[in-house]
């Protein structure tokens, strides 16, 4: 499952619905890290913002697996587990497995991330300030020294890697607002004692055992290769990671691909949002303005951008359309810009091309038609893809299926 926007489309509530309506063995997180914010609200009013745990965790027995593409933050994970315990889920850590090869996010990554973002001033990228991108960048630059989950079992190795990391970042950025290494090591050791750290073969067994839901983070329009550079995430937000994990598990192509999007196209922080309209009468108390990302912005449904995301993701089998409860007479569909009606994805890695695309979007203006009378039908027509699920509110009870793809009692290897 991927988000076909800029994130915040409702992936959490869709994953929760899937886990409420069929037997799911494991929710697999396949990208991102602690900066994810997938909100789930239960009918009794309980609420949790899922960051690293899978959004099916409210359902007894449903496991979470953090694949090697996830940047794991043990300190944030412990805090998230504590909050889950206060809302009736005391065993979240017991149902968690973590790939040993996943990168670790540390207080030094977080401090460096924030220092860089502050230094950008008015040219901020809209980072969440949690060090995820910093951990990825460091892992690419220094693959042999990057702290990984397996190192939590090896305190001497972890100490050495944290020391090298701190010293390199301090030399580049100056003193970091981060604790001493000796204060960090016990927390990482406690994580290793409490959580099941596994190798890459674990997922193959889970796939043989039962249905797995692959839950993506962020959105395709923020993808590290296909997003609008530089306002992107250091993460592959398309299905590419899922495809590689399934291939390694001997299950290539064994997936149902779902794309999630809102009726209202939104964006948190800086970067293009062609259909932004400050007059839209919307608020989102789960996505407030914060000092790192900036304000949460609302726009009309941007079919041009979502068509681009769909192409960049390689297509989907069906769409989950959320926030139908906001689709009133003020909300319209943008089918084309004054600069054209098509954005074409390029080859991964050409960031100059993506920056030029960003410049085009920043000067584009939306052209609107009258509001649709049937949103699901209009979105399906614009994206040439069936809408298979609609969400008319925050809980699983507010979901409606359309057609047979998600209506069956069991879902073949959800993606």
Give tens-digit pLDDT for 198-224: 999 999 999 999 999 999 999 999 999
pTM of the model: 0.93
**Structure letter (DSSP) for residue 296:** E
What pLDDT is recorded for position 408?
47
The pLDDT value recorded for residue 148 is 98
Residue 289 has what pLDDT? Answer: 61
Asked whether the CA dihedral 315, 233, 252, 211 is positive or negative, the reply is negative
Residues of the chain with CATH 1.10.300.10: 107-198
8 is catalytic: yes
Catalytic residue among 3, 16, 25, 38: 38
pLDDT of res. 28? 98
Distance CA 248, CA 251 (A): 7
Given this model, what pLDDT does residue 118 score?
78
Tabulate helix, strand, coil % of the chain (nearest 5): 35, 20, 45
Task: Return phi, psi of residue 275, to 5°.
Answer: -95, 15
Catalytic residue status for 38: yes
Which DSSP symbol is given to 290? B
CATH class of 107-198: mainly alpha
pLDDT of residue 120: 76
Stretches where the chain sits below pLDDT 50 are 408-415
Point out the catalytic residue in the list 8, 99, 223, 277. Answer: 8
Interacting residues of 156 by C-beta distance below 8 A, sequence separation 6+:
none
Residue-level pLDDT at 329 = 87
Options 1.10.287.950, 3.10.180.10, 2.40.30.10, 3.90.170.10; which CATH number does 2-68+200-401 get? 3.90.170.10
pLDDT digits (tens, 9 = 90+) for 319-361: 999 999 998 888 999 999 999 889 999 999 899 999 999 999 9
């Amino acid at each position: 499952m991927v988000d076909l926007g800029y994130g915040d489309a409702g992936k959490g509530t869709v994953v929760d619905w899937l886990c409420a309506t069929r037997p799911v063995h494991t929710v697999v997180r396949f990208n991102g890290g602690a900066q994810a914010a997938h909100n789930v609200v239960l009918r009794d009013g309980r609420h949790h913002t899922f960051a690293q745990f899978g959004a099916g965790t409210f359902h007894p027995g449903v496991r979470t697996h953090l694949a090697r593409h996830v940047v794991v933050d043990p300190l944030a994970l412990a805090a998230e587990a504590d909050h889950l315990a206060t809302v009736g889920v005391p065993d979240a850590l017991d149902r968690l497995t973590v790939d040993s090869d996943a990168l670790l996010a540390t207080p030094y990554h977080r401090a460096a991330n924030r220092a860089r973002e502050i230094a950008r001033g008015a040219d901020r990228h809209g980072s969440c300030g949690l060090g995820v991108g910093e951990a990825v960048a460091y892992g690419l630059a220094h693959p042999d020294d990057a702290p990984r989950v397996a190192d939590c079992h090896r305190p001497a190795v972890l100490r050495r890697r944290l020391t090298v990391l701190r010293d390199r970042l301090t030399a580049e950025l100056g003193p970091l607002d981060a604790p001493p290494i000796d204060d960090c090591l016990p927390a990482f050791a406690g994580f290793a004692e409490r959580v099941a750290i596994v190798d890459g073969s674990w997922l193959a067994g889970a796939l043989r055992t039962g249905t797995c839901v692959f839950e993506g983070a962020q959105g395709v329009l923020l993808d590290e290769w296909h997003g609008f550079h530089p306002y992107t995430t250091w993460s592959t937000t398309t299905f590419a990671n899922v495809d590689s994990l399934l291939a390694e598990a001997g299950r290539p192509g064994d997936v149902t691909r779902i794309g999630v999007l809102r009726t209202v196209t939104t964006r948190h922080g800086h970067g293009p949002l062609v259909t932004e309209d400050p007059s839209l009468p919307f608020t989102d108390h789960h996505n407030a303005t914060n000092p790192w990302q900036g304000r949460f912005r609302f726009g009309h449904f941007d079919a041009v951008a979502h068509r681009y995301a769909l192409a960049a993701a390689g297509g989907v089998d069906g769409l989950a359309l959320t926030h139908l409860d906001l689709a009133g007479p003020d909300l319209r569909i943008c089918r084309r810009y004054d600069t054209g009606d098509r954005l074409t994805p390029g080859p991964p890695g050409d960031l100059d091309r993506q920056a030029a695309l960003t410049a085009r979007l920043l000067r584009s203006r939306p052209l609107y038609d009258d509001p649709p009378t049937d949103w699901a039908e209009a979105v399906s027509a614009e994206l040439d893809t069936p809408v298979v699920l609609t969400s008319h509110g925050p809980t699983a009870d507010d979901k409606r299926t359309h057609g047979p793809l998600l209506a069956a009692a069991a879902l073949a290897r959800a993606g």
